[in-house]
Amino acid sequence: MKFFLISDNVDTLTGMRLAGINGTIVHERTEMLEVLEQSCNNQEIGIILITELLAEMAHEEIKEIKLDSTKPIITIIPDRHGERRPKDYITNYIKESIGLKI
């Protein structure tokens, strides 16, 4: 099982390559969807890392892939500019998912 990075900047890709993770840089939604589909169809890839900015471009498509157990795991990571999500993202996610306020 391999990791694969889909990034919107060179710095994130360079850092991941130092860790042994291959990937590609895309800037447009159509490009991102093509690379995402190719990555999902590659049997060697088990985990796909996507930067937050790109994940925002294809939120619904990523959601569908996450629900399909035959597809690779998708993890959204911050890029070099830091995290784009609010600080209470995890607590809001739990509250929306199971209705429990922490």
Q: What is the pLDDT of residues 33-50, one digit of tens each?
A: 999 999 999 999 999 999
Token output for 44: 């060697």
d(CA 15, CA 45): 19
Question: How many angstroms from the chain centroid is the CA of residue 10?
Answer: 16
pTM over the 0.85 mark: no
Q: Which two tokens stand for residue 22?
A: 């291959």
**What is the pLDDT at residue 4?**
97
CATH classification of the domain holding 74: 3.40.50.10580
Phi-psi region of 17 (alpha: psi -120 to 50; beta: other; left: phi over 0): alpha
* Structure confidence at residue 98 (pLDDT): 74
Which domain covers residue 93, as residue numbers? 2-98
Number of domains in the chain: 1
Cα–Cα distance for residue pair 40/45, rounded to 1 Å: 7
Strand 2-7 relative to strand 22-25, pairing: parallel
Residue 34 near residue 52 (C-beta atoms within 8 A): no
